[in-house]
Amino acid sequence: MSERRKLVMANWKMNHGIKDSFSFLAEWSKLSIPTELDVAICPPFTSLQSVGLGLSESNSTTALGAQNCHFETNGAFTGEVSLNFLKELECQYVIIGHSERRHIFNEPDEWLSKKVDAALQVELTPVFCVGETLEQREAGQTESTVLGQLAAIKDLSREQAAQVVIAYEPVWAIGTGKTATPDQAEEVHGLIRRWFGDTFGTAYAAELRILYGGSVKPENTSELMRQENIDGALVGGASLDAKSFFEIVQNSLK
């Protein structure tokens, strides 16, 4: 088994405004979160400050992350959020290229590449998401799709690459209740690590954390996390409830 420290992240998507975030935190602060792994919560932008304050008031080890960002530092970009604002809120992570951003909001690879670069400039950890659709999987294009998406980060320096987290999220498994089998996930995670090794060197690849996302629940966490190349999870639906997210965190260590 690898020495990589696991990372489990909650992606609340467009759920949990301030009121619901407080209810979650009231539960979360009563739980004793294991310290053998990293845990982060990514609330919607408008709940970031409240969640951040709530976590620090309860001396929580849980970190804060954002679900998106813009690559420019400031300017005429109506409706967008600068990475500098996320830094002010003490975010440590930012999700980049989630499939919902790619498919619903048509974010092109060129933007994602700039976002990863911009996040690294301000020392925020980018969680760069990749994953194939069902059509692509059925057409035997899983590998070419994932490698094509990874190409957006191929020009990073090795030092920059060492700061990146990758999340493999097969689009057909997101919010559908259909999880990739541990073998299916492991196959793609292995592919990602090999690409990383070929691109940045094997020492960097050995350190890379690759999260799995797509219908992760307390019941399927342990089996997924036991795979050699799965180093954590990006959890949507099952992270909205404090108890269920806590179970996922606990099961990630089993």
The one catalytic residue in 100, 132, 169, 186 is 169
Within residues 169-198, the interface with ligand PGA by CB under 6 A covers 169, 174-175
> Minimum CB separation from ligand PGA for residue 176, in Å?
7
> Minimum CB separation from ligand PGA for residue 122, in Å?
23
Q: Are 242 and 27 in contact (CB under 8 A)?
A: yes
Q: x/- contact string, 131-170, with ligand PGA (CB under 6 A)? A: --------------------------------------x-
Which letter, b or e, does each residue of 181-200 get, where b requires 16 or more Cβ atoms within 10 Å of its Cβ? ebeebbebbebbbebbeebb
The CA-based diameter of the chain, rounded to the nearest angstrom, is 50
What does residue 39 show for φ and ψ, rounded to 5 degrees?
-130, 140
Q: Residue 165 pairs with which residues in a beta bridge?
A: 127, 209
> Minimum CB separation from ligand PGA for residue 8, in Å?
12
The one catalytic residue in 98, 100, 186, 189 is 98
Q: x/- contact string, 11-30, with ligand PGA (CB under 6 A)? A: x-------------------
Please say if 107 is a catalytic residue.
no
Please say if 169 is a catalytic residue.
yes
Q: What is the 3-state secondary structure (H, E, C) of 118-168?
A: HHHHCCCEEEEEECCCHHHHHCCCHHHHHHHHHHHHCCCCHHHHCCCEEEE
> Minimum CB separation from ligand PGA for residue 15, in Å?
10
Residue 116 vs 205, nearer CB to ligand PGA: 116
> Minimum CB separation from ligand PGA for residue 237, in Å?
4
Collapsed DSSP state (helix, strand, coil) of residue 175? coil
Nearest-CB residue to ligand PGA? 236
Interatomic CA distance for residues 120 and 100, integer angstroms? 22
Helix axes 218-225, 242-251, angle to 10 degrees: 20
Q: Are 145 and 132 in contact (CB under 8 A)?
A: yes
Residue 37 vs 205, nearer CB to ligand PGA: 37
Residue 185 vs 238, nearer CB to ligand PGA: 238
Q: x/- contact string, 225-244, with ligand PGA (CB under 6 A)? A: ---------xxxxx------
Within residues 209-228, the interface with ligand PGA by CB under 6 A covers 213-216
Name, in order, each residue with C-beta under 8 angstroms of 138's C-beta and a sequence gap of 6 or more.
Answer: none
**What is the binding site for ligand PGA (CB under 6 A)?**
11, 169, 174-175, 213-216, 234-238
> What are the residue numbers of the active site?
98, 169
